[in-house]
Chains A and B, each alone.
Chain A
Amino acid sequence: MLLAVLVIVALPYVVTLSNSRDTQRAAAWVTHSNAVKSVTYQIAYMMQDSESASYRLLSGDGNESTRKCALLASQQVPALLRQLRTMTLDNPDQQAAISALESGADGRITLMNQALSRLQHGDAAGARQSLRDGGDLFAIDSEIAAIVHNEDSLLEARRANAAKQAFNGRVVLSITALAQLLLLTIIVVMSERQIGQRRLAETREGRAVLRSQLIFQAVREPIALFDKDLNSLLVNNAFRELYGMDPGRNAQPLAGIGDGAWNDNVLLQRLNDVLLRDRELWDHDVIQRTVDGVDRHVVINARRLQQQDTDAPALLLTVSDVTTRALAEQKVSELNRQLEGKVAQISDVNRELEAFSYSVSHDLRAPLRHISGFARKLEHHLGAHADEKANHYIEIIAGSAQRMAQLIDDLLVFSRLGRGPLRLQAIDMQSVVDEARSLAESEAHDRRIVWKIAPLPMVIGDENMLRTVWQNLLGNAVKYTGHCEVARIEVSVQQGRRGDYEFTVADNGAGFDMQYADKLFGVFQRLHRASDFPGNGIGLANVRRIVARHGGRVWAEAEPGQGARFHFSLPATDAAGAPIESRA
């Protein structure tokens, strides 16, 4: 680029310089040619003048000036001829022509001198003859013309050459002028663009600064910048509001801000450390009484900033008001403590329940066994002595013990259902229902039962527990249709909008009075006499407990003699098996 600039700028100078030299040289050549021509013409005129003067002398003109004029040529022409030769030393053509002229002129001057000499001796005729001979024998006009012509054509050639050079110069000048124009255009365009870019960058920078100002002011977190003497440089609105600072005042000392909220020697010392030793202040917890008279729990962070315009460091201070968070945390930990207490209580209760059921398992059944065992021993012992009444009593004693053992077993199962963890897994309800149906049918061989079981989905749950649910519901359906000629039992399912399922078991059996529906799911609650339908009233209690532990609910509708419909729902579960509803 630099080279191009140099060439473009220097070339016109060089070209112009050589042009003007050419012009000067051309002018010098013209002058020279004219000089040559003028000397040549001078020779010609001088010859002519001297010859004319000679002729006038012949015709009797005895004037002294005429005589002098006649002698002039012989006196001066040789010198002029030498001058001419010197002037055209570089041109061989001219030298040749000058030689020819010289010999001609010599001849004519010699004959002219002869004529003058003859005239002096009175031989006018001889003189006239000599003059005539000079004119006839030595013509110089053609030589003069040749020299002039030579000089003219030389001049012409030089002019043409000069014109060509001038044209070339003009072409080069035009090209360089064009190049200069182009260069200038490029420079102008480029600088325009650069200026535009700079202006754009400046605009952007201005906008960015404005934006950061806006953000700085809009941030809800109080932020402030202090100088090395802890006087405020820049505070945002949040800071100003929190500490009730006067917007008009600048450079307020930190210790005086917020009615002395910052007048804390430890904190000020730490902030000075930040400024002087570049130690960062990280989550410094303090309680400050702010302008609204509230004791606030704030977390202060500070770090040193190097200001761009000066060498002095600045302190960037951010304040996080964590009062509500601290309160919430306090509340959470309080609740956690309560919860831990509750959990401890619950695990205490669970432990007690565990111990209770262990004891029930081991200890409560033994006396019953003894009652029934020794009743039998009594029976054996009495043998033939036992009358009908004695046998009846013994039977009741043994039967009651038996029944109580059954109640204890049922209670233990019921209690276990509430205690143990749910073992959640994917369960194919279809196969669980089929299994439960087989079991229920096996206790009703000679009955006609029409089953209608809809396709059932996969669910997440505890398989053993849900099996118990179906065994109870289907077992009940079979049991309570015992008096029907043809029992109809129907199992169906509906999917709710939230992915939950509602299963229904409907039968055409004995049904029940809805008045007592709330008792249906209680432990050992029965709506039918044991003599009509055997049972001890634990099954539906188990169902309710299991369904509840799965996050669902169970309910029923019926009419005496018209059958019953039992429904239970299971909420949609996520992949981990947690009921979605319970989290909502």
Chain B
Amino acid sequence: MNKKDLRTILLVEDSTADAEMAMDALGEAHLVNPVVHVEDGVECLDYLYARGAWASREPGDPAVVLLDIKMPRMNGLDVLTQMRSDERLRRIPVVILSSSREESDLARSWDLGANAYVIKPVDVDQFFDAVRTLGQFWAVLNQAPEKD
């Protein structure tokens, strides 16, 4: 195992129920990558910049950020905007994981530079499949450029 395999999966989700289900699904994917769960946009940026409560975390970017849109304080699209405008964060893959099928949400996410948009299915099996696949793809298959 090289260093890349150990990159974290950052789950940004205000709903503890959703987070628990997502963690379960990722667990079912048998990933070795650690999964970090933060509960809103502000905390997400704290983690990415390794500041505040996350000031003393292990250095290194996550393999993927699974980002909910509707969250208290700072929502997912604001986080995405910030990430894409910062040289240090712009290459981190972001997958929007949302309940919304609204065309406007999809369009804005893509416009802001999301790498994928996944609608959380109500059907539990579909939901598990989706999260499992996401984890496997982004944490294992996807090749990210080494940081210079």
Interface residues of A (CB under 8 A from B): 357-358, 361-363, 365-366, 368-370, 372-377, 398, 401-402, 405, 409, 412, 416
Contacts and interface: CB of A to CB of B under 8 A. Distances in A.
Interface in B120-143: 120-125, 127
Contacts of A358: 100, 102
A401 B101 CA distance: 17
B105 interface: yes
Nearest to A377: B24
Interface residues of B, number: 21
Contacts of B120: 365-366, 369
Interface in B1-25: 15, 17-18, 21, 24
A369 B99 contact: yes
Nearest to B103: A416
Contact of A398 (B105, B121, B124): B124
Interface-centre pick from B15, B17, B18, B122 (highest chain A CB count, 10 A) = B122
B37 to A, nearest CB: 16
A412 B122 contact: no
Interface in B39-98: 69-70, 98
7 contacts: A362-B70, A362-B100, A370-B17, A372-B123, A376-B124, A398-B124, A409-B101
B69 A362 contact: yes
A361 B18 CA distance: 15
B18 A366 contact: yes
Contacts of A377: 21, 24
Contacts of B69: 362
A375 B124 contact: yes
Interface of B: 15, 17-18, 21, 24, 69-70, 98-103, 105, 120-125, 127
Nearest to A379: B124
A544 to B, nearest CB: 22
A362 B99 contact: yes
A372 B100 contact: no
Interface-centre pick from A366, A377, A405 (highest chain B CB count, 10 A) = A366
A412 B101 contact: yes
The 4 closest A-B pairs by CB, nearest first: A405-B122, A361-B100, A370-B17, A362-B70
A468 to B, nearest CB: 14
A402 B122 contact: yes
A361 B102 contact: yes
B102 A357 contact: yes
Contact of B70 (A363, A374, A375, A376): A363
B100 A373 contact: no
A369 B127 contact: yes
Contacts of B24: 377
Contacts of A363: 70, 99
B127 to A, nearest CB: 6
A448 B100 CA distance: 39
Contacts of A398: 124
Given A361-B102, A362-B98, A366-B120, 7 more contacts: A357-B102, A358-B100, A363-B99, A369-B121, A369-B124, A369-B127, A375-B124
A464 to B, nearest CB: 11
A148 to B, nearest CB: 148
Contacts of B101: 361, 409, 412
A368 B100 contact: no
A433 B120 CA distance: 32
Contact of B99 (A357, A361, A373, A376): A361
Nearest to A374: B17
Contacts of B122: 365, 368-369, 372, 401-402, 405
A249 B127 CA distance: 99
Nearest to B24: A377
B124 A366 contact: no
B36 to A, nearest CB: 21
Contact of B127 (A357, A373, A375): A373
A369 B18 contact: yes
Nearest to B68: A362
Given A369-B21, A373-B17, A374-B17, A361 B105 contact: yes
Contacts of B70: 362-363
A274 to B, nearest CB: 63
Contacts of B105: 361
A376 B99 CA distance: 19
Nearest to B70: A362
B102 A372 contact: no
Contacts of A374: 17, 21
Nearest to B18: A366
Contact of A366 (B15, B102, B103, B123): B15
Contacts of B99: 361-363, 365-366, 369
Contacts of B100: 358, 361-362
A373 B124 contact: yes
A343 B123 CA distance: 40
B69 to A, nearest CB: 7
Nearest to B69: A362
A373 B125 CA distance: 8
A370 B122 CA distance: 8
A374 B124 CA distance: 9
Contacts of A357: 102
